[in-house]
Amino acid sequence: MKAVIQRVSKASVTIEGKKVASISTGLMVLIGIVNEDTTEDIKWLTNKIVNLRVFGDENNIMNTSLLDVNGDAIVVSQFTLHASTKKGNRPSYIKAAKPDIAIPLYKSFVKQLENNLGKNVQTGQFGADMKVELLNDGPVTIIIDSKNKE
């Protein structure tokens, strides 16, 4: 499971002209799922995300987490995170999990993130053509792969 996490001042997701998710201070989480991902990947990654110290403390040093700042989160599924660009110019998405595997894991990821955060998490819509807007604060962008824990 791969996540691109961006600290945001604001973020939103729009589908067919309708805003379906919107947050202020928090994290935009783009999540890519592969067939080998498990509930253990979800537990590890969601715990890492809510405790990641990427927000400024009283001295403006990145030393506080999403939990510490009572921030919000938007999760957007993004199979393109597992693109292979080794051959040619057209990315291959063969590693990305198909919807029958990815959707239940995506839903479980969102639910676990909500449990860890203690509040509802905003989401896009799996498989939809989404317009994602965000104001990256910092900018701070972190990439985490649950297969690279060590």
| Catalytic residue list | 78-80
Distance from C-alpha of 13 to C-alpha of 134, rounded to nearest angstrom? 9
DSSP 8-state assignment for residue 91: P
- Give the integer Cα–Cα distance in Å for 46 and 41: 8
How far apart, in whole angstroms, are the C-alpha atoms of residue 131 and residue 122? 14
